[in-house]
Structure 1
Amino acid sequence: MAETDGFDEFFRATWPRLFRTACAVAGDAASAEDALQQAYARAYASWRRVSAAEHPEAYVRRIVVNEILGTRRRAWWRRERPTDLSGETGPATAVVSPEAAIVERDRLWRAVLELPPRQRAVVVLRYYEDLSEEEIAGTLGCSRGTVKSQASAALAKLRQHAGLTLDSNGERA
């Protein structure tokens, strides 16, 4: 029995989910693919240990998020940042188009992408992946208190952004 038995199945089963998470944390598909490629290469190299872990997907998710955050720290000064995200809407009497929800969702994601990488990771893991504070702390290698403070700071920034009002659960108020 080869040391990498089961890796192909694991890869096929987890790639779509981890790719969505990586895209949300990284902010773009290319960076997400790079981080996933690195994470799966590391997982493959240590497959016996990874597959023996209680939650192999969580193990690889942690590698992916850390890869993205590490890359962002190294290249933070080169990162392009959006400059005009005002997204002003028309008068209150205007007819709401079916596209309004898409535009609003885009505004929210742009606001999330403006967050510092670690805060963005906390928001994505909490509200997109629906992980608990404990699971996020394990993924990011920090304490639950750090997760709470990062989430609080991120939600405060999102509330301030272009009039977005969110409750403590990240839902629109």
Structure 2
Amino acid sequence: MEADPRFAEFVAERGDALLRYGYMLAGNPHDAADLVQEALLKLRGAWHRLHSKGNPESYVRTTMARLHIATWRLRRREQLAWDLPEREHHDPLPSGDERRIWQALAGLPRKQRAVLVLRYYEQLDDAEIAAVLGISRGTVRSQAARALGKLRNAVPTKPMTRGNVR
């Protein structure tokens, strides 16, 4: 099969944005890169059919969300057997409240994190989120409410005082 230069252009133009989206879904750069790579492989196979429709990025993002959900469903059933590494590795995080928000977001269950990413990063409504994740709209709302509650508890707000009201 002959390579289409438009596919390479698409990857060059939108690759970084897709990687950021993957990071928001997965919570770490390694899983994000895997999501992007797998989704782009699927896109490459369907490029001629999808490019003519005009929105291949939507296909890739939906594929990434579905791959992410499939991964956490699989991991929920897995029994890991290898030993833990002797020392941990953590990518540096921002400091202060921003750090607590990222840690709280990373600590959310995968479904709750996926709902928040699709709602606030992708700007999808409940019906669209339900379609992407294969769950009901009520489940979308309950997962979002639980996730936001956990984030609120993780990062308490500062009390309002006369000095910081504008």
Q: Sort the TM-score into its range (normalised by shorter chain).
A: 0.7 to 0.9
The aligned residue for residue 126 of structure 1 is 119
The aligned residue for residue 159 of structure 1 is 152
What are the ranges of 5 or more consecutive residues in structure 1 without an aligned counterpart?
A: 81-100, 166-173
Judged with a 3 Å threshold, the aligned counterparts in structure 2 of structure 1 residues 44 and 110 are, in CA distance, closer, same or farther, namely same
40-49 or 149-158, which deviates more: 149-158
Q: Number of paired residues? A: 143
The aligned residue for residue 103 of structure 2 is 110
Cα distance in structure 2, aligned partners of 1:140 and 1:4: 31
Contact kept in structure 1, 2:26 and 2:68, CA below 8 Å: yes
Q: Give the TM-score normalised by the residue count of structure 2.
A: 0.72
The aligned residue for residue 19 of structure 2 is 19
User: How far did residue 162 of structure 1 move?
Assistant: 5.2
User: How far did residue 147 of structure 1 move?
Assistant: 2.1
Contact kept in structure 1, 2:101 and 2:155, CA below 8 Å: no
Please provide the CA RMSD for this pair. Answer: 2.6
What are the ranges of 5 or more consecutive residues in structure 2 without an aligned counterpart?
A: 85-93, 159-166
Q: Give the TM-score normalised by the residue count of structure 1.
A: 0.70
Judged with a 3 Å threshold, the aligned counterparts in structure 2 of structure 1 residues 23 and 62 are, in CA distance, closer, same or farther, namely same
Cα distance in structure 2, aligned partners of 1:37 and 1:14: 13
Map 1:88-103 to 2 at 5 A: 102-103=95-96
Judged with a 3 Å threshold, the aligned counterparts in structure 2 of structure 1 residues 35 and 110 are, in CA distance, closer, same or farther, namely same
The aligned residue for residue 35 of structure 1 is 35
